[in-house]
Amino acid sequence: MAETESPAPDAAKPGLLDDWMSRAELAQELGLSVDTLARWETRRIGPTCVRIGRKVLYRRGAVQEWLREQERPRVGSGGRK
Protein backbone atom coordinates (compact mmCIF):
# COMPACT_ATOMS: atom_id res chain seq x y z
CA MET A 1 0.00 0.00 0.00
CA ALA A 2 1.39 3.37 -0.99
CA GLU A 3 1.67 5.95 1.70
CA THR A 4 0.00 9.24 0.88
CA GLU A 5 1.70 12.30 2.22
CA SER A 6 -0.47 15.09 3.46
CA PRO A 7 0.80 18.48 2.42
CA ALA A 8 2.76 20.09 5.23
CA PRO A 9 1.85 23.68 6.04
CA ASP A 10 4.32 25.92 4.30
CA ALA A 11 5.62 28.31 6.95
CA ALA A 12 7.65 30.21 4.35
CA LYS A 13 4.59 30.92 2.21
CA PRO A 14 3.71 34.60 2.49
CA GLY A 15 0.24 35.52 3.68
CA LEU A 16 -2.06 37.51 1.45
CA LEU A 17 -2.09 40.53 3.77
CA ASP A 18 1.52 40.39 5.01
CA ASP A 19 2.41 43.67 3.28
CA TRP A 20 -0.68 45.48 4.59
CA MET A 21 -1.45 47.17 7.89
CA SER A 22 -4.66 48.35 9.50
CA ARG A 23 -5.44 51.95 10.25
CA ALA A 24 -4.90 51.31 13.97
CA GLU A 25 -1.49 49.75 13.29
CA LEU A 26 -0.41 52.67 11.10
CA ALA A 27 -1.69 55.22 13.61
CA GLN A 28 0.39 53.56 16.31
CA GLU A 29 3.49 53.43 14.07
CA LEU A 30 3.20 57.13 13.21
CA GLY A 31 2.12 58.27 16.67
CA LEU A 32 -1.16 59.62 15.33
CA SER A 33 -4.78 58.97 16.16
CA VAL A 34 -7.01 56.75 14.06
CA ASP A 35 -9.29 59.78 13.61
CA THR A 36 -6.44 61.79 12.09
CA LEU A 37 -5.81 59.10 9.50
CA ALA A 38 -9.54 58.94 8.74
CA ARG A 39 -9.61 62.72 8.28
CA TRP A 40 -6.56 62.54 6.00
CA GLU A 41 -8.28 59.90 3.90
CA THR A 42 -11.32 62.13 3.49
CA ARG A 43 -9.12 65.08 2.47
CA ARG A 44 -6.86 62.84 0.35
CA ILE A 45 -3.71 64.15 2.02
CA GLY A 46 -2.38 61.03 3.72
CA PRO A 47 -0.98 57.79 2.41
CA THR A 48 -3.16 55.90 -0.04
CA CYS A 49 -5.34 53.16 1.38
CA VAL A 50 -7.69 50.41 0.30
CA ARG A 51 -11.17 49.85 1.70
CA ILE A 52 -12.58 46.36 2.00
CA GLY A 53 -16.02 46.82 3.48
CA ARG A 54 -15.41 48.74 6.70
CA LYS A 55 -11.80 47.65 6.90
CA VAL A 56 -9.14 50.16 5.80
CA LEU A 57 -5.71 48.84 4.87
CA TYR A 58 -2.45 50.58 4.01
CA ARG A 59 0.31 48.94 1.98
CA ARG A 60 3.63 49.32 3.80
CA GLY A 61 5.49 50.24 0.61
CA ALA A 62 2.95 52.96 -0.22
CA VAL A 63 3.26 54.42 3.28
CA GLN A 64 7.06 54.47 3.00
CA GLU A 65 6.80 56.15 -0.40
CA TRP A 66 4.38 58.73 0.99
CA LEU A 67 6.76 59.43 3.88
CA ARG A 68 9.62 60.02 1.42
CA GLU A 69 7.42 62.45 -0.50
CA GLN A 70 6.86 64.41 2.73
CA GLU A 71 10.57 65.16 3.07
CA ARG A 72 11.25 68.81 2.53
CA PRO A 73 14.61 70.10 1.37
CA ARG A 74 16.38 72.10 4.02
CA VAL A 75 16.36 75.83 3.61
CA GLY A 76 19.89 76.96 2.88
CA SER A 77 21.71 78.55 5.76
CA GLY A 78 21.76 82.07 4.40
CA GLY A 79 24.24 84.74 5.30
CA ARG A 80 22.08 86.13 8.09
CA LYS A 81 24.09 87.01 11.20
pLDDT for 74? 76
Contact between 17 and 59 under an 8 Å Cβ cutoff? The reply is no
Q: Where are the alpha helices (DSSP H) in 1-81?
A: 23-30, 34-43, 60-69
pTM for this prediction: 0.72
**Domain spans of the chain, in order of start:** 20-69
Can you give the pLDDT at residue 6?
59
Look at residue 3 and tell me whether its pLDDT is greater than 90.
no
- In this predicted model, what pLDDT tens digit does every residue of 5-43 receive, in sequence order? 656 666 678 899 999 999 999 999 999 999 999 999 999
